[in-house]
């Protein structure tokens, strides 16, 4: 059987956009190339101690970089060279980068990226990921402005992630379903392996850092207890699975059915995850796959961003499970007399 590569697939899908000029296709292709370079480095991360850790020099006399810094540089360079984007915002950088090269300043798009997510797992050979989000600019010309990045999630043109796991996959959506591509290292290409991914409407996996239990909102505590109760008609108790890499936890739950939760906690009153780099792009994928993403009150993609690094609680995955936890949250708000409209 002939395999379909990512680039073949996105060119074929260009017709989903009636006035497409090929820029989005090139942009996605640029991201996939940078992802391959990052993948190569992630795969030899264990050799860093042998070959020299950060602060030391490699054989060409260049300083060795930490993987997250390396990934950040790779994606920014690829996007900068491509010329389709007029600005990039990265979880690794305090401020966005406006691109004002001859071609870039007329780029139609801006990209927001978490170049290597799952920082606690980077050095210990556990799956990590890259998450990206693409918007059409709203400024007219020149390099990007802050308002280009502070758009609601439902304005995304495309989003996706790369998971560097037991195999490396790129999963993306342009608002016409979700498709997944597995990197075949022998030919160096992402090949279509998971066409039209759909999230089961319910499942039996819940993913949350239970170590923070005492700091969770009451509704989340009650939902966790619900997940742990025995009830065969609803297949409970559910299974608890938490890798601590959002992409990996989300990806597993999307394929098997489940919910990922990172609520507000006493330590992180607005949640830990970033609305623009983590929550919105995965929310777009979740919805396109038939799932749901909420901040506990409303749809993630309706949240109005006020700043680049804004944090946001996240409840994401199988639709019925997200609705269940929302009911627990609502009930506990009501009983505390804090019901919000
Ligand atoms: P990071 O951007 O610093 O890597 O943080 C995001 C990560 C997610 O991948 C993961 O789901 C979560 O943080 C884990 O946090 P915790 O260790 O608090 O459970
Ligand atoms: Mg992150």
What tens digit of pLDDT does each residue of 183-203 get?
Answer: 999 999 999 999 999 999 999
From the alpha carbon of 121, which atom of ligand 1 is closest? 4
pLDDT band at 123, cuts 50/70/90? confident
| Domain harbouring 266, CATH code | 3.40.190.80
Q: Decide which of 194, 214, 231 is a domain's last residue.
A: 194
Longest dimension (CA), the chain: 64
pLDDT tens for 79-122 read: 999 889 999 999 999 999 998 887 788 899 999 999 999 988 88
pLDDT one-digit tens code per residue, 254-269 = 999 999 999 999 888 9
- Tell me, what's the pLDDT at 11? 87
Predicted confidence band of residue 4 (pLDDT cuts 50, 70, 90): very high
Choose among 73, 86, 81: nearest CA to 38: 73
What is the sign, positive or negative, of the torsion defined by CA atoms of 188, 192, 193, 196? positive
How much distance in Å is there from the Cα of 118 to the middle of ligand 1? 5
Residue whose Cα lies nearest atom 3 of ligand 1: it is 119
Q: Name every protein residue with a CB atom under 6 angstroms from any ligand 1 atom.
A: 91, 114, 117-120, 209, 244-246, 249, 272
Same domain, 145 and 246: no
Give the tokens for residue 24. 């989005």
- Which band of pLDDT confidence, cut at 50, 70 and 90, is reported for residue 59? very low
Query: Ligand 1 atom 12: the closest Cα is on which residue?
Result: 244
Specify the pLDDT at position 20.
66
Collect contacts of 210-218 with beta carbons under 8 A, ≥24 apart.
210/240, 210/242, 212/265, 212/267, 214/266, 215/265, 215/266, 215/267, 216/263, 216/265, 217/263, 217/264, 217/296, 217/329, 217/332, 218/332, 218/336
Residue nearest to atom 17 of ligand 1 (CA): 244
| Shared-domain flag, residues 110 and 258 | no
Q: Are residues 130 and 239 in the same domain?
A: no
Same-domain pairing of 32 and 170: yes
Lowest mean pLDDT among 40-49, 60-69, 76-85, 244-253: 60-69
pLDDT digit string, tens, across residues 201-246 = 999 999 999 999 999 999 999 999 999 999 999 999 999 999 999 9
Same domain for 300 and 229 = yes
Q: How much is the pLDDT for 50?
A: 47
Could you tell me if residue 110 is inside a domain? yes
216 and 179 in one domain? no
Mean pLDDT in the chain?
91
168-173: strand order across its sheet: 97-98, 85-90, 109-117, 128-136, 156-164, 168-173, 178-184, 189-194
**The domain that contains 108 carries what CATH number?**
3.30.540.10
Provide the domain count of the chain.
Answer: 2
Task: Please check whether residues 119 and 160 belong to one and the same domain.
Answer: yes
Same domain, 319 and 229: yes
Tokens of 46: 């264990």
Is 100 within a domain? yes
Give the number of whichever ligand sits closest to the CA of residue 243. 1
Q: What does the pLDDT read at residue 341?
A: 46
- How far apart are the C-alpha atoms of 25 and 47, rounded to whole Å? 34
Q: Identify the pLDDT of residue 150.
A: 98
Whether residues 237 and 332 share a domain: the answer is yes
341 Cβ contact list (under 8 Å, min separation 6): none
Angle between helices 280-288 and 246-256 (to 10 degrees): 10
147 and 13, same structural domain?
yes
Question: What's residue 60's pLDDT?
Answer: 45
Distance CA 269, CA 339 (A): 18
* Ligand nearest, relative to CA of residue 131: 2
Let me know if residue 288 belongs to a domain.
yes
pLDDT in the model for residue 14: 79
**Of 194, 227, 243, which residue is a domain's last?**
194
The percent of residues above 90 in pLDDT, for the chain, comes to: 75
Together in a domain, 47 and 180: yes
**pTM assigned to the model:** 0.94
Low-confidence winner among 119-133, 162-176, 320-334 (lowest mean pLDDT): 119-133
- Mutation to probe ligand 1, out of 270, 273, 277 (largest number of atoms < 8 A from CB): 273
Give a yes or no: residue 267 inside a domain: yes
How far is residue 67's CA from residue 63's CA, in Å, rounded to a whole number? 12
Residue 200 in domain: no
34, burial (CB in 10 Å: exposed 0-12, middle 13-18, buried 19+): buried
Mutate to test the pocket of ligand 1, among 67, 220, 272, 312 (most ligand atoms within 8 A of CB): 272
Give the range of the structural domain holding residue 29, as residue numbers without chain letter.
Answer: 6-194
Angstrom distance (rounded) from CA 264 to CA 313: 5
Coil, strand or helix at 333: helix
Q: What is the pLDDT of residue 338?
A: 55
Residue 27 has pLDDT above 60, yes or no: yes
**Nearest protein Cα to ligand 1, atom 6:** 118
Looking at the structure, tell me whether residues 137 and 32 fall in a common domain. Answer: yes
Domain final residue, candidates 164, 194, 224: 194
Nearest Cα to Cα of residue 322 among 301, 293, 281: 293
- The pair of structure tokens assigned to 208 is 């949350």
Mean pLDDT of all residues in 37-65: 65
- pLDDT value at position 18? 62
Residue at 199 is within a domain: no
């Amino acid at each position: 059987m002939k395999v379909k590569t990512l680039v073949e697939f996105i060119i074929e899908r260009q017709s989903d956009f009636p006035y497409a000029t090929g820029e989005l296709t090139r942009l996605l292709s640029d991201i996939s190339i940078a992802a391959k370079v990052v993948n190569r480095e992630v795969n030899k991360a264990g050799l860093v101690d042998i070959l020299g850790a950060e602060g030391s020099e490699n054989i060409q006399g260049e300083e060795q970089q930490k993987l997250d810094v390396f990934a950040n540089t790779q994606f920014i360079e690829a996007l900068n060279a491509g010329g389709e984007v007029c600005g990039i915002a990265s979880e690794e950088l305090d401020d966005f980068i406006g691109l004002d090269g001859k071609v870039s300043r007329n780029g139609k798009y801006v990209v927001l990226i978490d170049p290597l997510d799952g920082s606690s797992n980077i050095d210990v050979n556990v799956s990590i990921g890259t998450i990206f989000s693409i918007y059409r600019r709203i400024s007219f010309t020149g390099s990007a402005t802050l308002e280009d990045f502070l758009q609601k999630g439902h304005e995304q043109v495309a989003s996706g992630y790369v998971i560097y796991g037991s195999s490396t996959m790129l999963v993306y959506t342009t608002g016409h379903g979700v498709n997944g591509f597995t990197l075949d290292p022998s030919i160096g290409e992402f090949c279509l392996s998971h066409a039209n991914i759909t999230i089961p409407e319910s499942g039996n996996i819940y993913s949350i850092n239970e170590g923070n239990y005492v700091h969770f909102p009451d509704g989340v505590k009650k939902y966790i207890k619900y997940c742990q109760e025995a009830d065969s008609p609803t297949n409970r108790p559910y299974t608890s699975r938490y890798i601590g890499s959002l992409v990996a936890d989300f990806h597993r739950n999307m394929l098997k059915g489940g919910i990922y939760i990172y609520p507000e906690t006493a330590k992180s009153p607005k949640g830990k995850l970033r609305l623009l780099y983590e929550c919105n792009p995965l929310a777009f994928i979740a919805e396109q796959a038939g799932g749901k993403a909420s901040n506990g009150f409303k749809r993630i993609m309706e949240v109005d961003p006020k700043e680049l690094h804004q944090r946001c609680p996240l409840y994401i995955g199988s639709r019925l499970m997200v609705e269940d936890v929302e009911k627990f949250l609502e009930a506990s708000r009501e009983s505390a007399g804090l019901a919000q409209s």
